[in-house]
Amino acid sequence: MRISEQAKQENRSRILDKAAEIFNSKGFEDSTTRDIALAAGLAAGTLFNYFPSKETLAMTMVSEALVQGREDYLRRCTGREDLAEELFLFVASGLRRLRPLRPFLGPVLERSLSPFPRKNVCHEGETARQEHLAAVQAILVRQGFTEAPDYVAMTMYWSLYLGILAFWSNDTSPNQEASQALIDYSIRMFVQLITGSGAAGGDEHAE
Amino acid sequence: MRSDKIIETELLELLPKDRANDPTGKRLAELLARISMKKIPVNSFSRIWTLGSLQARVTAGYLAYWLRSRFRNADEKQRLKSEAHLAAALQLFGAMGYLRGAVMKVGQMLANLPEVVPEEFAEVLSALHFEAPPMHFAMVREVFLDEFGREPEELFATFDRQAFAAASLGQVHRARLHSGEEVAVKIQYPGIARTIKADLRNLRLLLQPLCLTIDWQDTLAKLADIERMLLMETDYTQEAMFCKLARSAFTAADQVVVPRIYDDYSTARVLTAEYLPGCHINDFLATDPGQGERDHFTRLLTVATYRLYYRLHWLPADPHPGNFIFMPDGRLGLIDFGCTLMLNDEEWIFSNVAIQAALDRDLPGLNRSMARACRFDDPDDMEPDHLEVIRQGFYWFMEPWQQEGLFDFGDRDFFMRGIDNVMEATRKGYTRSLPMTIWSNRFTFGGRAFCYKLKGRCEFRDIYLQESAGVQPNHT
C-alpha cells in the first residue's frame, strides 16, 4: 500500500522525536533501531525505509539542528560584527540548537565526523561538514576576503571546530560556559592565523 | 617598538639587587629573559600574553627576588630545582590574563623605585583591579540567552553594543528598561571562576617546592584568601545582596547613593543596577574644583566607608576610582561591591581592639595587636625593629583619628610617610601577616590615595565619633 507524502513526513518526524527520547534515556550506544521502531509504532523494516542506520538517524538530527543554527545565525547577524565576532555568533548559534542532543552526541559525532580515513563515510556527516565550511567561507567573503583560504587554513578551522564540539559535548560547567571561553579563544586563534594580525584579543585593556 | 636590548638594559637597572649573590641583578634578569621568551602552554583563554612588557617583567622580577630569598641558603642542587619551579610559577603568573591590569600597575610603580612620588603611588594603588578579557557583543548575547533565555535587545528597550567600562572580571554596558529607567548592566566573562581556580591551583603546585621557611604557610594563607576574594567577585548574586545592604545604610541626607538593583534583570552572571549619572575622579579634577567641593566629596567618601565599616562590619576592599561617581547634584555614588570583605566577629573585634589601643595610647595592648596582625603569639617573639616598623605604620593609619578639626588628606608629607613605611616593611621582608591585612591595606591605602589625589580635607575624628556611635554589636 502506498502512503501519502504527508503520512511519510509524519512518520519521519515521529521517528526522529522518538529516537531523540530513546537516545537521551539510554544513550546512543545502548539504543537499538528496534527500540525506536517500536516506540514510533512501526515495524523495524519500515524504519529502514526512512533511515538506513542508527547513525544516519542521529546524524540527521545533528544536520537539522545545524541547519536551524545557521538560520538563527543569519537572523541574529546584524552586519556590524567583525570576523571573530561573526564566527563566534555562527558557532554559538549552532551549538545552541545542538544542545538538546548533547547527552548522546559524543559517540554520534565520533562516528560521523571523525576526520580519520574510514571504510564507510557517513553521508550526512560529510554533508554537514561541507555545509558548515561553506558557511564559514561565506562569512569570510562577507568580511572582505577575496580569496578563499587554502586547505591548510580550512583544515585547521575544522580541527578547532571538532575540538570545540568534543569539549562541549563533555563540558560539565553550567550552561557549558567553559566551552564559550574555548570558542572565543579558538576563533581568535583562527582569525590570527588567516589575517596574520598580531593581537589575539584582550589587548584593549593593555596600558 | 623598542628593541629587546634597550629593554634588557633598562630592566637591569630597575631590578632589585641581591648584595651577596647577585650584586648586578644579572642573574635575575637572565631568569626573566629566559621565561619571557618562552611560549606559554596554551590551555586556557587567558594565556594570551607573555611576560614581554617591561612593567610585567619588573613585577615578576620583584616577585622572584622575594621568593628567591627563601631558598638563599639551600644547597646548589636544591637551588636549581627551586629556580626551575620559580621560573614556571612566574610564567604562569604572567599568563593570568585577569591579573594583567594589576601586574602592569605594580610594575609601573616598582619601575620608579626608589624615587617613587606620592602622585604615582596614588595613581597605581587606585587603579589596581582584576580584569577579564573584553567580550564582543556576540558573546554577551550568548550569556544573555543562557541567563535569561532572551537577547539583550529583547530584555531591554535599548542596549549598547559597546561596553562603557571594564568591571571586576567582566564589563559594563548601558541599557534602558522598558519602563524607562537608565541602567548599567555588568556581564561576567563566561567560565572565569573556573580559570581562576585552575590558575591558583597550578600556582600553588609550582610554588610548593619553594616552601623552605615557615613563611610558606603565610604565602599559602594569602593565596587562599586572594582566591576566595576573586571568586567572591564572580558571584554577582552576592554582590547584589551587598548592594542592597549598603543602599539601606544611607539616607537622602547622607548624600551618598548606592544604586538600586533590578532583580528581574540580574543573575549570578549579570547584574543590572540603576545608572548613576556623573563622572569619575579624573574628569572631576579636570573641572578644577574649588577646595570646598574637594572637601565635600572627601567628607562623603569618609562617611560612606566608615558607615559601612561600623554598621555592616565591611571593608570595601576595591578602592578603584571607577567605583566612585561624582554626581552633578553633589552626591557621591558608590558602585561595585564585588570585592567587599565582610569581617567575621573575630576579625571585627581584633580590628577594633587595635584601634582602641592606639586611641588610648596603650602601648602594651597595641604591641599585642601588632604581633597578632603579623602572626606572632607575643610581641617578644618579634624582632624589636620589626615591631617598631609595623607599629609606625599603624600610627600613621591612626593619625587622622586623633586630630581635632580638619584633617588634610592632600598633605604630601603625610601621604609620603605612609608610603615610606610600606616600602621599609617590604624592603626588610616584614610581610608576614594575617590574610585580612591584604584587604585592610588595600582599603586604607586605596582610600587615602584617592583622597590625596582629590586634595581633600574632612573632620575625620568627628566622622569617626559619629559613625562609631551607630556601631552594631557582633553579628552572632
Does the pLDDT at position A199 exceed 60? no
Nearest to B147 by CA among A154, A152, A177: A177
The whole-angstrom separation of Cα B277 and Cα B411 is 30
Closest CB to A201: pick one of B100, B133, B166. Answer: B133
Lowest mean pLDDT among A113-122, B66-75, B158-167: B66-75
Contact A131, A66 (CB under 8 A): yes
For residue A177, list chain B residues with Cβ-Cβ distance below 8 A: 146, 190-191, 194
Domain boundaries, chain B: 4-129, 278-476
pLDDT, position B21: 73
Nearest to B50 by CA among A200, A183, A53: A200
The Cα-based distances of A55 to A31, A32, A52, A120 in angstroms read 11, 11, 8, 11
How does pLDDT run across A78-134, given as a tens digit for each residue? 999 999 999 999 999 999 999 999 999 998 888 888 888 777 778 888 999 999 999
Interface membership of B137 toward A (CB under 8 Å): yes
- Which among B199, B318, B336, B408 is annotated as catalytic? B318
Put simply, the answer to whether B101 touches A207 (Cβ < 8 Å) is yes
| Interface predicted TM-score (ipTM) of this complex, two decimals | 0.84
Does the pLDDT at position B310 exceed 50? yes
The fraction of chain B above a pLDDT of 70, given in percent, is: 83
Put simply, the answer to whether B189 touches A181 (Cβ < 8 Å) is yes
Does the pLDDT at position B476 exceed 70? no
Task: For residue B433, give every residue at least 6 positions away whose Cβ sits within 8 Å of its Cβ, in sequence order, or none.
Answer: B218, B373, B374, B375
> 3-class SS at A27?
coil
Kindly give the pairing relationship between strand B256-257 and strand B182-188. Answer: unpaired
For residue A84, list chain B residues with Cβ-Cβ distance below 8 A: 136
Nearest to B203 by CA among B118, B106, B94, B105: B94
The nearest CA of chain B is from the CA of A58 a distance in Å of 25
For an interface test with B, the pick among A88, A176, A191 (most B C-beta atoms closer than 10 Å) comes out as A88
pLDDT, position B473: 61
How does pLDDT run across A102-116, given as a tens digit for each residue? 999 998 888 888 888
Write out the H or E segment, with its range, that includes residue A183: helix A177-195
Put simply, the answer to whether A81 touches B136 (Cβ < 8 Å) is yes
Task: For residue A122, give every residue at least 6 positions away whose Cβ sits within 8 Å of its Cβ, in sequence order, or none.
Answer: A55, A56, A59, A111, A112, A113
Put simply, the answer to whether A88 touches B131 (Cβ < 8 Å) is no
Put simply, the answer to whether A81 touches B146 (Cβ < 8 Å) is no
Residue B287 has a CB neighbour count (10 Å cut-off) of 10
Residue B117 has a CB neighbour count (10 Å cut-off) of 12
The whole-angstrom separation of Cα B13 and Cα B8 is 9
The nearest CA of chain B is from the CA of A99 a distance in Å of 12
How does pLDDT run across A42-60, given as a tens digit for each residue? 998 899 999 998 989 999 9
Contact B404, B462 (CB under 8 A): no
Is B254 known to be catalytic? no
How does pLDDT run across B84-117, given as a tens digit for each residue? 777 777 777 766 766 766 676 677 667 666 666 7
Which chain B residue's Cα is nearest to A206?
Answer: B101
Put simply, the answer to whether B104 touches A177 (Cβ < 8 Å) is no
Nearest to B463 by CA among B446, B449, B440, B447: B447
Which chain B residue's Cα is nearest to A93?
Answer: B142
For residue B146, list chain A residues with Cβ-Cβ distance below 8 A: 175, 177
Phi/psi of residue A17, nearest 5 degrees? -60, -50
Contact B189, A205 (CB under 8 A): no
Contact B243, B273 (CB under 8 A): yes
The nearest CA of chain B is from the CA of A118 a distance in Å of 30
Write out the H or E segment, with its range, that includes residue B170: strand B170-176
Closest CB to B138: pick one of A89, A200, A204. Answer: A89
The whole-angstrom separation of Cα B193 and Cα B169 is 9
The nearest CA of chain B is from the CA of A132 a distance in Å of 19
Does the pLDDT at position A198 exceed 50? no
For an interface test with B, the pick among A77, A185, A189 (most B C-beta atoms closer than 10 Å) comes out as A185
The whole-angstrom separation of Cα B40 and Cα B67 is 21
In degrees, to the nearest 5, what angle opens at C-alpha B81 toward C-alphas B77 and B86? Answer: 140
pLDDT, position B176: 98
Does the pLDDT at position B49 exceed 70? no
How does pLDDT run across B190-208, given as a tens digit for each residue? 888 888 888 888 777 777 7
Interface membership of B44 toward A (CB under 8 Å): yes
Task: For residue B408, give every residue at least 6 positions away whose Cβ sits within 8 Å of its Cβ, in sequence order, or none.
Answer: B414, B457
Phi/psi of residue B200, nearest 5 degrees? -70, -30
pLDDT, position A59: 92
Residues 88-127 of chain A whose Cβ lies under 8 A from any Cβ of chain B: 88-89, 92, 96
Contact B447, B305 (CB under 8 A): yes
Interface membership of B470 toward A (CB under 8 Å): no
Q: Which residue has the cell 596603650?
A: B362
Predicted model pTM: 0.82
The nearest CA of chain B is from the CA of A98 a distance in Å of 14
3-state secondary structure A106-166: HHHHHHHCCCCCCCCCCHHHHHHHHHHHHHHHHHHHHCCCCCCCCHHHHHHHHHHHHHHHH
Q: Which residue has the cell 585547521?
A: A156
The whole-angstrom separation of Cα B443 and Cα B319 is 6
Whether residue B114 is preceded by a cis peptide bond, meaning omega within 30 degrees of 0, is: yes
CB burial string B335-355: b at 16+ within 10 A, e below: bbbbbbbebeeebbebbbbbb
Instruction: Indicate the pLDDT class of residue B211, thresholds 50, 70 and 90.
Output: low
Instruction: Indicate the pLDDT class of residue B125, thresholds 50, 70 and 90.
Output: low
Closest CB to A177: pick one of B138, B141, B191. Answer: B191
Mean pLDDT of chain A: 88
For an interface test with B, the pick among A78, A83, A98, A177 (most B C-beta atoms closer than 10 Å) comes out as A177
How does pLDDT run across B331-375, given as a tens digit for each residue? 999 998 888 889 999 999 999 999 999 999 999 999 999 999 998
The whole-angstrom separation of Cα A72 and Cα A118 is 32
pLDDT, position B84: 76
Contact B256, B332 (CB under 8 A): yes
Kindly give the pairing relationship between strand B332-334 and strand B256-257. Answer: parallel
Instruction: Indicate the pLDDT class of residue B311, thresholds 50, 70 and 90.
Output: very high
Nearest to B164 by CA among B140, B200, B180: B140
Contact B204, B219 (CB under 8 A): no
For residue A207, list chain B residues with Cβ-Cβ distance below 8 A: 55, 101, 104-105, 108
pLDDT, position B197: 85
How does pLDDT run across A143-180, given as a tens digit for each residue? 988 877 788 889 999 999 999 999 999 999 988 998 99
Tell me which DSSP letter residue B361 carries: T
The whole-angstrom separation of Cα B416 and Cα B452 is 10
Contact A182, B45 (CB under 8 A): yes
The whole-angstrom separation of Cα B62 and Cα B68 is 10
> 3-class SS at B458?
strand
For residue A98, list chain B residues with Cβ-Cβ distance below 8 A: none
Residue B143 has a CB neighbour count (10 Å cut-off) of 22
Closest CB to B142: pick one of A80, A92, A204. Answer: A92
Interface membership of B150 toward A (CB under 8 Å): no
